Amino acid sequence: MSKKDKKFISFSLAIKEILDDFSSDPKQYDLFAKVYSFLVGGKAVPGEEECPPMGIKYGGVWHQPENLKEKRFYNWHEFDDLLTQVFSSKLPSAQDIVKLYRMVMGLNAYIGSGPEKKAGIWVETEMEKYQCIQCGYCCLNLYDAFCTSAYEEDMVRWEEEGRWDILDYIVGTDLWISPRTGEEVTRCPWLRKLQNKDKYICRIHDTKPKHCRDYPKSKKHALRTGCKGFS
């Protein structure tokens, strides 16, 4: 059995990862209901509400505070702000942060000491189970897999390397924009299928964007975006 991959994070970083998870994928209705009721009490359940005058129905969560009959509906657009407000107004205990992290990220986590004996959380990431199988899924489905924008470090590196062929596909910091049509491409322009094989390679592997190097960011990110590296 391979050695477990672990990482140490501070309590504040654990909260940030929880918030980032809902920011990147807010339509986690069941999970938000559990997290929100855990933090503020009362009962929260997934549901819908019709928005007049167009009659559009929005998905979200109905919340009923303790000892009150009145319910309030929060649509998924509000999830990130609601959690930010709750964490800002009342910081949960260390034990509760660990429980929330396990709940949201689906990973084993526990309180411990890290570098310089600072208290925080050890997380068993399960990334030791991940292996890229070169299926090309993330590059063929850009808008499902990861954010299509370049970091400043990418832009600086490509300028220093004289990679104008890459920079031609960027508008502002947006990846990848066809220089011929001015439209977003539907698949990475640097992806190449190996002949007679169901595998792909990246033609700019040595200098690819940070988003690509960091994908997937976690086991949950991989499973949510269809990555087959955990199969």
Range of 103's domain?
6-128
- Residues 10 and 115 placed together within one structural domain of the fold: yes
- Residues 156 and 168 placed together within one structural domain of the fold: yes
| Number of domains forming the structure of the chain | 2
Of 27-36, 50-59, 101-110, 217-226, minimum mean pLDDT range: 50-59
The first and second tokens of residue 92, run together, are 């949960």
C-alpha closest to that of 212 among 133, 165, 145, 144: 145
Return the number of other C-beta atoms located less than 10 Å from residue 215's C-beta.
20
Reported as a single tens digit per residue, the pLDDT across 82-108 is 999 999 998 899 999 999 999 999 999
Which of 128, 153, 172 marks a domain boundary?
128
167, pLDDT greater than 80: yes
pLDDT of residue 156: 95
pTM, to two decimals: 0.82
Q: Once rounded to an integer, what is the mean pLDDT over residues 113-127?
A: 92
Q: Is 227 exposed, middle or buried (0-12, 13-18, 19+ CB in 10 A)?
A: buried
53, pLDDT greater than 80: no
Which of 109, 128, 147 marks a domain boundary?
128
Which of 58, 93, 128 marks a domain boundary?
128
- Residues 63 and 173 placed together within one structural domain of the fold: no
- Residues 20 and 121 placed together within one structural domain of the fold: yes
Reported as a single tens digit per residue, the pLDDT across 64-83 is 998 888 899 999 999 999 99
Reported as a single tens digit per residue, the pLDDT across 145-156 is 555 778 999 999
SS3 66: coil
- Residues 20 and 41 placed together within one structural domain of the fold: yes
